[in-house]
């Protein structure tokens, strides 16, 4: 495993010149402009549907909206850059126009898509491939000077299930982050968030090993994003389907908060915001009124 070279955890993001503190955990709401995302209720295939979802999530307390137009579920159909942008950009432009103060993250591994979305008013790049599927992504993030979410994945959505082989999953993911972080910093990317990539080229035991050891990623000194919402790692443990995995998701999100998660990426914003509020009450000292 790489030698620890990071100490103080960065908890501030520069988003379009505005500093956002991650000292208190933030909730990121998922908006999928796709017809085949793994959780059916998250599919918003029209601009109007995306706008309504954005309005609901912001009303429920979302701090960031994560918008994607390429389904990354295991075995998902590959689509062209043109199809991805044709789905994505109208929704981004409409949300920016309707909610100009909203912070928008773009879920894409393609640098050209990220560049167009940022030009349309988005603020953050969320790359499931961590720069491994597009060799221009890191330089694009550096040129755009936007926060970059570095996720761990092996292969691509079409073949990643076959890539879920590790001798030590935590060591492999930690070393990957160390290497990719240094490359990003050398290129001049200043705001980097790490995401262990739960469910991406991971078997069930890998997912829970990473969750058990999540707090050890704090040694990297970088904000941590956790995305477990309604995933197989939840409903395989509890039974049922993604549609029945809200309670398990909330439990896992709460565990992630106790281990240092700074951003929760979720389908269900209201419940995640409530989990953060309860966690904060348990984590902070409380004043007790002793008056009778």
Long-range contacts of range 85-89, CB-CB < 8 Å, 24 or more positions apart?
85/112, 85/113, 85/116, 87/33, 87/34, 87/45, 88/33, 88/113, 88/117, 89/116, 89/117, 89/120
How many Å apart are CA 149 and CA 109, to the nearest integer? 11
Cβ(77)–Cβ(120) under 8 Å? no
CA separation for the pair 20, 11 (Å, rounded): 8
Give me the active site residues, please: 231, 265
Per DSSP bridges, beta strands 18-21 and 12-15 are: antiparallel
Q: Could you give phi then psi for residue 122, rounded to 5 degrees?
A: -75, 170
Q: Which two tokens stand for residue 19?
A: 């500093």
67: its two tokens: 């918008």
């Amino acid at each position: 495993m790489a030698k620890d070279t990071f100490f103080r955890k960065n908890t501030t993001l520069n988003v379009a010149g505005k500093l956002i503190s991650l000292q208190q955990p933030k909730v990121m709401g998922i908006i999928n402009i796709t017809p085949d995302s793994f959780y059916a209720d998250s599919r918003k295939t029209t601009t109007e549907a995306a706008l309504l979802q954005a309005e609901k999530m912001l009303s429920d307390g979302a701090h960031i909206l994560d918008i994607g137009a390429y389904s990354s579920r295991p075995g998902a159909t590959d689509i062209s850059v043109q199809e991805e942008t044709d789905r994505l950009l109208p929704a981004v432009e409409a949300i920016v126009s309707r909610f100009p103060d909203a912070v928008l993250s773009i879920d894409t591994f393609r640098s050209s898509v990220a560049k167009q979305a940022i030009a349309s008013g988005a603020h953050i790049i969320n790359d499931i491939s961590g720069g491994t599927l597009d060799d221009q992504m890191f330089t694009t993030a550096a040129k755009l000077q936007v926060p970059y979410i570095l996720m761990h994945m092996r292969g691509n959505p079409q073949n990643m299930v076959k890539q879920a082989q590790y001798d030590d999953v935590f060591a492999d993911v930690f070393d990957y982050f160390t290497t990719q972080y240094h490359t990003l910093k050398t290129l001049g990317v200043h705001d980097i968030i790490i995401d262990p990539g739960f469910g991406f080229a991971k078997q069930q035991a890998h997912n829970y090993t990473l969750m058990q050891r999540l707090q050890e990623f704090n040694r990297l000194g970088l904000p941590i994003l956790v995305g477990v919402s309604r995933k197989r790692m939840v409903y395989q443990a509890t039974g049922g389907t993604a549609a029945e995995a809200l309670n398990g998701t909330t439990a896992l999100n709460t565990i992630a908060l106790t281990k240092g998660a700074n951003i929760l990426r979720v389908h269900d914003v209201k419940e995640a915001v409530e989990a953060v509020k309860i966690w904060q009450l348990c984590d902070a000292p409380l004043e007790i009124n002793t008056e009778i």
